[in-house]
């Protein structure tokens, strides 16, 4: 059977006729030994036809179609014009070698031509790629390299601009930065409390929140100067006049050490940095909420913005998350536990990232696995609705959340009923034992 090879270059389509198949068969080693020498390779492969691109835009469109495994009208007309004619009802007496199996399947469906995409064809195409400028004599010096560079740049730019997961990357970076900022806030908050507690130790027991603590320390500065004039400012921060007066009273009788002016300046500067960091954290969270409402409103409505963003981040994109089965989504983030279970033959994990969801924490110990499985199922549905659906609302996610709430309540009611049965059984057993003892 005769064989042709289709080569998609940066300059156009090229069709090659493979000779000597009766002698070498589809021997990959024979082709490999002849690739380096054009005089030998040229005896195996002969140029049949070449169709150059008319414009750079035409080249980009053709390459986009090829990358998606789609046969364009231009490619079909090129093959119909240069391949041997096949009568209707007859099987083609030749095959066509292509680099991409998807493109080969598309060509076979449209033209009924048998297409190959195996190691032998790839070696032929490697030789064609290496000696392509020798087959085509019309190229200017460095013309093929310039065409390759130009097409590569335009194709890459178009792919970046049309990347449908660009919004996903913004969510992934935002949730990663948010986790980093949270760690810094915890570290800075503890350092601020420890540093200022040398001067005003009683304030730690009065103000629990790190943000309020930093603001109050900036207002107080030197505790020896606390007076009734500070009450309105402290009330504005704490939201409670009684607590503000408690702070003033505690500062006036505080047992803390005195700090010098330079020490106070450093403490206040550090506290101000903590306030700025927490303000930035709030802005970053608001930005993440907007992004999640744009790309995954139903998933965010189901499990919350933070957990939804973490699932997308761990999966790599919303598309990947939508493609996962619910069983994979359920243990997403428990990679080490899963590998350990596979290695030791123990039980696999029942939950991964979704363990931090409020639904899991509200379930009893024996129902955590059940509610995790049910929640993963709903999360998978919500992710697919967000990715494949046309609606941008969160109605579907809110309905799914209601279903999870109902399932969780049913587990609670079932446990109460079972506990009642167990108590009744214990009372019956106790009564029977008393009757036996009386007899």
Every domain of the chain and the residues it spans: 2-161, 169-288, 296-424
pLDDT of residue 37 exceeding 70: yes
**Rounded to 5°, angle at Cα 160 from 156 and 164:** 140
Return the structure tokens found at 164: 């449908």
Task: Give CATH for domain 169-288.
Answer: 1.10.287.4070
* pLDDT per residue as tens digits for the range 256-286: 888 888 888 898 899 999 999 999 999 999 9
pLDDT averaged over every residue in the chain: 83
Cβ proximity of 20 and 88 under 8 Å: no
Domain 296-424, CATH homologous superfamily name and number:
Nop domain (1.10.246.90)
| Residue in this structure with the two tokens 């504005």, named with its chain if needed | 236
Q: For residue 111, give the H/E element and its range.
A: helix 101-111
pLDDT at residue 385, as a whole number: 92
Distance between CA atoms of 249 and 235, rounded to whole angstroms? 14
Q: Which has more confidence, 359 or 435?
A: 359
pLDDT class of 423 with cuts at 50, 70, 90: low
pLDDT of residue 439 exceeding 60: no
Does domain 2-161 bear CATH number 3.30.420.220?
A: yes
Question: Can you say whether the dihedral through the CA atoms of 34, 36, 41, 46 is positive or negative?
Answer: positive
Distance between CA atoms of 92 and 84, rounded to whole angstroms? 9
Distance between CA atoms of 15 and 6, rounded to whole angstroms? 5
Alpha helices (runs of H) in 253-394, residue ranges in sequence order: 261-295, 297-303, 305-315, 318-323, 326-330, 335-344, 358-362, 368-388
Cβ proximity of 34 and 40 under 8 Å: yes
**Rounded to 5°, angle at Cα 226 from 222 and 232:** 120
Q: How crowded is residue 271: how many other Cβ atoms within 10 Å of its Cβ? A: 25
286 burial type by CB count under 10 A (0-12 exposed, 13-18 middle, 19+ buried): exposed
- Looking at residue 221, the DSSP 8-state letter turns out to be S
* pLDDT per residue as tens digits for the range 350-360: 778 888 888 88
Q: How is 60-98 classified by DSSP, letter by letter?
A: HHHHHHHHTT---HHHHHHHHHHSPP--TTSPPSEEEE-
Distance between CA atoms of 175 and 96, rounded to whole angstroms? 49
Distance between CA atoms of 315 and 310, rounded to whole angstroms? 8
pLDDT class of 159 with cuts at 50, 70, 90: low
Cβ proximity of 4 and 83 under 8 Å: yes
Return the structure tokens found at 371: 């509610």
pLDDT of residue 89 exceeding 90: no
Q: How crowded is residue 53: how many other Cβ atoms within 10 Å of its Cβ? A: 20
pLDDT at residue 421, as a whole number: 65
Return the structure tokens found at 433: 């034992």
pLDDT at residue 154, as a whole number: 76
**Beta strand spans in 152-191 (E):** none
Angle between helices 241-252 and 231-238 (to 10 degrees): 130
């Amino acid at each position: 059977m005769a064989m042709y090879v289709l080569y998609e270059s940066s300059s156009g389509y090229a069709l090659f006729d493979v000779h000597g198949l009766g002698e070498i068969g589809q021997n990959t080693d024979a082709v490999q030994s002849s690739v380096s020498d054009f005089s030998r390779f040229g005896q195996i492969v002969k140029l049949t036809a070449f169709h150059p691109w008319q414009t750079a835009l035409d080249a980009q469109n053709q390459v986009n179609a090829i990358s998606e495994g789609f046969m364009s009208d231009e490619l079909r007309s090129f093959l119909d014009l240069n391949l041997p004619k096949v009568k209707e009802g007859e099987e083609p007496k030749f095959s066509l070698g292509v680099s991409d199996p998807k493109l080969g399947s598309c060509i076979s469906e449209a033209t009924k031509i048998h297409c190959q995409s195996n190691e032998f064809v790839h070696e032929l195409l490697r030789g064609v790629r290496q000696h392509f400028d020798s087959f085509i004599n019309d190229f200017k010096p460095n013309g093929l390299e310039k065409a390759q560079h130009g097409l590569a740049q335009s194709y890459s730019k178009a792919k970046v601009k049309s990347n449908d997961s660009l919004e996903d990357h913004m969510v992934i970076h935002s949730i990663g930065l948010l986790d980093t900022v949270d760690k810094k806030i915890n570290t800075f908050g503890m350092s601020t409390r420890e540093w200022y507690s040398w001067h005003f130790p009683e304030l730690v027991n009065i103000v629990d929140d790190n943000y309020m603590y930093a603001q109050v320390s900036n207002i107080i500065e030197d505790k020896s100067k606390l007076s009734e004039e500070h009450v309105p400012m402290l009330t504005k921060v704490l939201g409670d006049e009684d607590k503000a007066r408690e702070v003033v009273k505690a500062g006036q009788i505080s047992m803390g050490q005195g700090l010098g002016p330079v020490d106070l300046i450093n403490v206040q500067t550090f506290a101000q940095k903590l306030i700025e960091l927490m303000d930035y954290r709030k802005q970053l969270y608001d930005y993440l909420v907007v992004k999640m409402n744009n790309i995954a409103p139903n998933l965010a409505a189901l499990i919350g913005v933070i957990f939804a963003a973490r699932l997308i981040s761990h999966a790599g994109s919303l598309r990947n998350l939508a493609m996962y089965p619910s069983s994979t989504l359920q243990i997403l983030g428990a990679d080490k536990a899963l590998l350990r279970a596979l290695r030791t033959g123990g039980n696999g994990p029942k939950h991964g990232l979704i363990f931090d969801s409020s639904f899991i924490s509200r379930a009893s110990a024996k129902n955590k696995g059940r509610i995790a499985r049910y929640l993963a199922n709903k999360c998978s549905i919500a992710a697919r609705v967000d990715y494949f659906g046309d609606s941008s609302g969160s109605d579907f996610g809110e309905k799914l959340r209601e279903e999870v709430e109902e399932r969780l309540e049913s587990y609670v009611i079932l446990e109460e009923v079972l506990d009642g049965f167990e108590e009744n059984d214990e009372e019956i057993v106790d009564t029977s034992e008393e009757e036996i003892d009386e007899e």
